Structure 1
Amino acid sequence: MLSKLLRAGVLGAVTVVATSPLGHGALAAASDYRFELAEARPAGPGKTDVTLRLVRTSDGRPVPDAVIFQTRADMAPAGMPTMAGNVAPQAGQQPGTYRFQVDTGMAGGWALTLAAKVQGEPETVRATVTFNAAR
């Protein structure tokens, strides 16, 4: 009898997951998403507009409405990790794109590190995207 109840409980759990309204993304991990550099362009003296695209790795589709809750910019790629710049979020131009204005006091290689929550996913997506700031 206990065996039948356990089997019923396991099958019930599988049914609940399979019919979850969250669909495919409900079982995804943070590693199932990645941020890609879409564009980095000068935005005035000492500033760079950086646009990132968040995509699902399985199909390359953009992921809109992620909540970016942590950002940091520094010159670690140029060997100066203590040279940091302020990061200000801007409005994205297309679904799945996330734009930031970064105070890049000098030209060279920069890294934008961020943490984001994708709706319906329990894990935090963390990424570091490198870009070049021009004068």
Structure 2
Amino acid sequence: MKNHRSMFAGLALASLFASVSLANAAPSDYEFQLVKGEIQKADAAVIAVKLIDKRSGNPVDHAVIFSTRVDMQPDGMEMMTTPAKAMPTTEPGVYSFQTNLSSEGNWRFSVAAKVQGEDGTIENKLVFKVVQ
């Protein structure tokens, strides 16, 4: 019986340390990734990004996206911007945005978010190509 109590106490302590380390994740432990690196030119194009926890590789749901920007900075036209409207998604950790991608070329999607229960802001600038 004493052996079982020691084992239970050890497991409880290990789970406590695991939960403390997860709660102290840094913004650099998370990353947005493009779902597709090439997107068709369209008035109602969709940019989809996946937020992952780099420590586990798992998708992260329920992040609060509070800033987005779509521009042509990679082709030297940073002032050419278009708004991005958040869309519902059914895939875990995937966040989709509808936008007007009116020109072929290289575009940049900048996104900033907060993960619930974590300090700091996750920010990524992702470059994708718009094709005919």
SS of match in other structure, 1:129:
strand
The equivalent residue for 2:75 is 78
* Equivalence for 1:101: 98
- Give the TM-score, by structure 2 length: 0.79
Is the Cα contact below 8 Å between 1:50 and 1:102 reproduced in 2?
Answer: yes
Of 82, 87, 109 in structure 2, the residue corresponding to residue 112 of structure 1 is 109
Would you say how many aligned residue pairs link Structure 1 and Structure 2? Answer: 117
Q: Does 1:26 align with 2:41?
A: no
- Matched AA of 1:46: D
Q: Structure 1 unaligned runs (5+)?
A: 1-17
Structure-2 residue corresponding to 1:51: 48
Measured against aligned partners, the alpha-carbon deviations of 1:81-116 in whole angstroms (never above 9, x if no partner) come to 111011111112301000011222211111110110
Q: TM-score, normalised by structure 1?
A: 0.78
For 1:15-54, what per-residue CA distance to the aligned partner results, in whole angstroms no more than 9, with x for missing partners?
A: xxx8489554211000000000112533x73342111000
Q: Are residues 20 and 92 of structure 1, via their aligned partners in 2, closer, same or farther at CA, if it must alter by over 3 Å? A: farther
Secondary structure at the counterpart of residue 31 of structure 1: helix
1:46 match: secondary structure: strand
Residue identity over aligned pairs, in percent, reads 34
- Structure 1 residue 124: deviation in Å? 0.8
**Structure 2 CA distance for partners of 1:20 and 1:91, relative to 1, 3 Å:** farther
Q: Which runs of 5+ in 2 are unaligned?
A: 1-14
Q: 2:59 aligns with which of 57, 62, 87?
A: 62
Equivalent residue for 1:88, pick from 79, 85, 92: 85
Whether contact under 8 Å (1:46, 1:106) holds in the other structure is: no
Moved over 6 A (4+): none
Alpha-carbon distance change, 132 to 64 in structure 1, aligned in 2, over 3 angstroms: same
Which amino acid is 1:48 matched to?
A
